[in-house]
Structure 1
């Protein structure tokens, strides 16, 4: 399966609990009033790092963001739920597929707004790559 295969459009949000849930605020907007893509990217990086840190049992660094797709804008007041799942594990690296979904304040309808693949590398106290621990 390729990274682009991971970007197929599902009809509903994932069944798992989101890793991050946050409300988009006015301070996070661009001059047009939409939420900055960079703000959303940062939230997704935080969410993606959660399963990576858990698997690595320690510190990781983000080394790549691939196949990032912005499907829809996020507006002030939208509840943004971010889901993350590990899709590949290497010797020191972990690739995580991350999706962001929004729910407008006055609605119960959710829609996917952004998705991408984030790569993290387990690092030691000297910030050098380290092998991932054996599977639990």
Structure 2
């Protein structure tokens, strides 16, 4: 979900099946603990405010981030089979009562890099 498009011009791309059901099922078979949900693209570069997070929850957001959606739209427009997979590195603003720290976000990403790399390697071997 995003309010902007990376495409320029009159390309109206149908996003009904943006993310490949086949690849999503493949990923789920490799790691059944992974959840699916609604990812909202937020432009950044600032983290979201607690008020914005509350608004996004109201419209059904499960995750909010500054990447993935523009790239997915562009790839889909070119006919690619697309998978969106997110590595959650922090709770949203206002959820824990703690201030967000970009250093902690980077550390969480680095800590999970091995697991993410292993998952992607397994999935890519099957494509």
TM-score (norm 1): 0.29
Structure number with the higher strand fraction is 1
Taking structure 2 as the reference length, the TM-score comes to 0.30
